[in-house]
Copies of this chain bind each other. A is one copy, B any other.
């Protein structure tokens, strides 16, 4: 049959690419389908916590992952999956361009998507001063003033990265302390041109052709003020677009796909790994490890050997 694989991996970030490396090395005919290459890891310009690389560009690291998976035989296509259904003993995967592929097993590794603030002006100025990618757009703000919104490592890392280029950075967070790594918090606090605007939320992005200001509100006093900025970086978190698979696998309240220690989902033959799963921590090295687990458990499943762990989904 045409377009038939042993395993289809949906997503090509750290988890999907590592899964593809491992299934290929097990001689499983593997297809990786993804809208992009590299996922979240490909965005940061500098990664310092993927073991083996003291410092590496995210896109460069993900290109290495891809080369390695393809070297062992994994095929890769660009496409958006709109539907997955059971068919015979396996699954059928439909893409938005009306093409279909079939496989005996599926590995879900499509990660998560950045969240938006949902405030006036955000959409209007997207790409005209509003950005969700510091790495992509930082060079546009040399010697300018920008706002970074968020309190986690992406916001802290983004502010830090911008501080060597931009004149001034406002780091805006709704709480009175950050939730990112101590090391990230410390170096941001020490940086003279980063101004912490804590306990404030963004209300509106203002401008004419391009962004000219960001209105923020004190969460306690409700007092508003306008920060004169040339750019706004939104770094507040992510959502998981898993509705197309919701009829087949159990999900939690964040739409993450519930999986056990061996990446098994509630549906035999479907595995989940990385940011799309309910794994507690979203890190490149953790996603890579989970990708390897999903692949090895998938191999057990396809070779008819019983896996070591199985969730009893009825309890």
- Distance between A50 CB and nearest chain B CB, rounded to angstroms: 7
Separation of A67 and B286 alpha carbons in the complex (Å)? 20
Contact B280 A309 (CB under 8 A): yes
- A25: interface (CB < 8 Å): yes
Contact A27 B182 (CB under 8 A): yes
Which residues of B are found within 8 Å of A54, using beta-carbon distances?
A: 64, 67-68, 71
- A290: interface (CB < 8 Å): yes
- Distance between A313 CB and nearest chain B CB, rounded to angstroms: 16
Q: Which listed residue (B18, B51, B68, B261) contacts A21, Cβ 8 A?
A: B51
Contact A307 B280 (CB under 8 A): yes
Contact B49 A22 (CB under 8 A): yes
Q: Which listed residue (B52, B71, B290) contacts A52, Cβ 8 A?
A: B52
Separation of A186 and B183 alpha carbons in the complex (Å)? 55
- A181: interface (CB < 8 Å): yes
Separation of A59 and B26 alpha carbons in the complex (Å)? 24
- A217: interface (CB < 8 Å): no
Separation of A127 and B55 alpha carbons in the complex (Å)? 29
Separation of A65 and B49 alpha carbons in the complex (Å)? 10
Q: List 21 A-B contacts (CB under 8 A).
A: A22-B49, A24-B183, A25-B49, A25-B135, A25-B139, A26-B181, A26-B182, A50-B52, A51-B288, A53-B68, A54-B67, A72-B183, A135-B296, A160-B303, A183-B304, A262-B280, A262-B281, A280-B297, A281-B297, A283-B289, A286-B293
